């Protein structure tokens, strides 16, 4: 069992940024990358809103750059998934699929995953630039002048549908029931929006696609329509769209810490506001795992920086 000053769990923008700062502070962090090396941005194509890349950058390339930057300062990254963590022990204990480790400070950057509809095609098309997304802030700009749909009925779905009317020519909000869960004020704003229509009592049964040939000669499958089923009558019909946003929630990757660290009702880790400190001394959380508000690469990276600085200061105080 090897001992480390700092262990970081996760290699999304939060984990890599924490690693860059911690390694430059001579803390020699050990990082576990888990099942998704590079995190969520490795399953997307163009990222246009990460500062420093005026022409945009492919998600996987951005993450390769972050990884190389962390390694340049001596970060050790292991292809291991953390299976158990005992955060109350001194030193803290971490067990992966390949070994056991101890550390003084633990930085949790395990991210969150978008919930998909469970029909397979939605998640697959989101990975290949096929016109399906779970993030309006990230991808709304790509749908200027297009007819699109949003699936969901909560605050996030209604807010995203309203936001997307800034770009799309028409937004259809598809909801499985005959009333929304979103707050009244948000609903009123949505109903007053001439570009937004609600399709009540409907679920997406399937996604139709067409093959598009890119300038490079490559072909890509693009969404062309949704096959909808009426949840009351069972009737089937088709809605032609060029984009689909799935807004049925996110799942923070926090199961490892159940019963050990406080979480909100949706399972996000709770930190002392304005810091990355959890209530357990020496345990810090950064990125989407503690942020249900913004969930952006830049905010994840920013809080990864905070976590490394918080950990460095805490280690300094321990003498």
Min separation Cβ 125 and ligand FAD, Å: 10
Considering only residues 273 through 292, tell me which ones interact with ligand FAD, judged by CB under 6 A.
287-289
Considering only residues 139 through 178, tell me which ones interact with ligand FAD, judged by CB under 6 A.
none
With tokens 């949505």, the residue in question is 190
Give, for 283, the enclosing helix (H) or strand (E). Answer: strand 283-285
Of 103, 104, 122, 138, the catalytic one is 138
Using CB under 6 A as the binding rule, whether residue 254 contacts ligand FAD is answered as no
Measured from the CB atom, is 32 or 167 closer to ligand FAD?
Answer: 32
- Tell me whether residue 49 is exposed, middle or buried, using C-beta atoms within 10 angstroms of its C-beta: 0 to 12, 13 to 18, 19 or more: middle
Report the C-alpha gap between 295 and 252 in whole angstroms. Answer: 11
Please, where are the H alpha helices in the chain?
A: 13-24, 59-72, 121-127, 136-139, 155-164, 184-191, 297-317
Told to judge if 206 belongs to the known catalytic residues of this protein, a careful annotator would answer no
Using CB under 6 A as the binding rule, whether residue 10 contacts ligand FAD is answered as yes
The residue from 138, 149, 204, 261 that contacts ligand FAD (CB under 6 A) is 138
Min separation Cβ 184 and ligand FAD, Å: 29
DSSP state of 269: B
Considering only residues 105 through 124, tell me which ones interact with ligand FAD, judged by CB under 6 A.
109-112, 114
Min separation Cβ 308 and ligand FAD, Å: 13
Considering only residues 24 through 83, tell me which ones interact with ligand FAD, judged by CB under 6 A.
32-37, 39-41, 43-44, 47, 49-50, 81-82
Min separation Cβ 86 and ligand FAD, Å: 14
**Number of residues this chain uses to bind ligand FAD (CB under 6 A):** 42
Measured from the CB atom, is 168 or 228 closer to ligand FAD?
Answer: 168
Measured from the CB atom, is 137 or 209 closer to ligand FAD?
Answer: 137
- Nearest residue to 154 via CA among 76, 246, 72: 246
Using CB under 6 A as the binding rule, whether residue 295 contacts ligand FAD is answered as yes
Q: Which residues of 209-235 are buried (b: 16+ CB within 10 A; e: fewer)?
A: beeeeeeeeeebbbbbbbebbeeeeee
Of 104, 122, 139, 291, the catalytic one is 139
User: Which residues of 89-187 form beta strands (DSSP E)?
Assistant: 92-96, 100-108, 112-114, 132-133, 147-151, 170-174
Report the C-alpha gap between 7 and 35 in whole angstroms. Answer: 17
Of 103, 104, 122, 135, the catalytic one is 135
Min separation Cβ 41 and ligand FAD, Å: 4
Told to judge if 135 belongs to the known catalytic residues of this protein, a careful annotator would answer yes
Report the C-alpha gap between 189 and 267 in whole angstroms. Answer: 29
User: Which residues of 152-268 form beta strands (DSSP E)?
Assistant: 170-174, 196-199, 202-213, 219-230, 236-240, 243-246, 250-252
Using CB under 6 A as the binding rule, whether residue 13 contacts ligand FAD is answered as yes
Using CB under 6 A as the binding rule, whether residue 15 contacts ligand FAD is answered as yes
With tokens 């998909």, the residue in question is 116
Told to judge if 286 belongs to the known catalytic residues of this protein, a careful annotator would answer no
DSSP lists the bridge partners of residue 2 as 101
Report the C-alpha gap between 144 and 126 in whole angstroms. Answer: 18
Measured from the CB atom, is 81 or 231 closer to ligand FAD?
Answer: 81
Residues of this chain that bind ligand FAD (CB under 6 A): 9-15, 32-37, 39-41, 43-44, 47, 49-50, 81-82, 109-112, 114, 126, 134-135, 138, 253, 256, 287-289, 295-298, 300
């Amino acid at each position: 069992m090897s001992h480390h000053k700092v262990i970081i769990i996760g290699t999304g923008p939060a984990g890599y940024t924490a690693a860059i700062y911690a390694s430059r502070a001579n803390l020699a962090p050990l990082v576990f990358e888990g099942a998704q090396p590079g995190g969520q941005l490795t399953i997307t194509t163009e990222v246009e809103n990460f500062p420093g890349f005026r022409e945009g950058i492919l998600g996987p390339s951005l993450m390769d750059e972050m990884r190389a930057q962390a390694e340049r300062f001596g970060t050790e990254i292991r292809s291991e998934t953390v299976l158990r963590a005992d955060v109350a022990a001194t030193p803290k204990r971490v067990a992966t699929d390949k070994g056991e480790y101890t550390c003084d400070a633990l930085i949790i950057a395990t991210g969150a995953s978008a919930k998909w509809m469970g029909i397979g095609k939605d998640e697959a098309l989101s990975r290949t630039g096929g016109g399906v997304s779970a993030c309006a802030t990230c991808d709304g700009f790509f749908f200027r002048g297009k007819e699109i749909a949003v699936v969901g009925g909560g605050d996030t779905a209604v807010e995203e549908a309203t936001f997307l009317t800034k770009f799309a020519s028409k937004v259809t909000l598809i909801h499985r029931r005959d009333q929304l869960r979103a707050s009244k004020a948000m609903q009123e704003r949505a109903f007053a929006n001439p570009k937004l229509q609600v399709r009540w009592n409907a679920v997406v049964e399937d996604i139709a696609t067409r093959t598009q040939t890119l300038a490079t000669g490559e072909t890509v499958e693009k969404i062309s329509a949704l096959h909808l089923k009426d949840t009351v009558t069972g009737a089937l019909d088709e809605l032609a769209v060029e984009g689909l946003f799935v807004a049925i929630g996110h799942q923070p990757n926090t199961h490892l810490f159940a019963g050990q660290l406080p979480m909100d009702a949706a399972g996000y880790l709770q930190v002392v506001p304005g810091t990355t400190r959890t209530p357990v001394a020496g345990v810090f959380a950064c990125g989407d795992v503690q942020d249900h508000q913004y969930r952006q690469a830049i905010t994840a990276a920013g809080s990864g920086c905070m976590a490394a600085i918080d950990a460095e200061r805490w280690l300094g105080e321990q003498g």
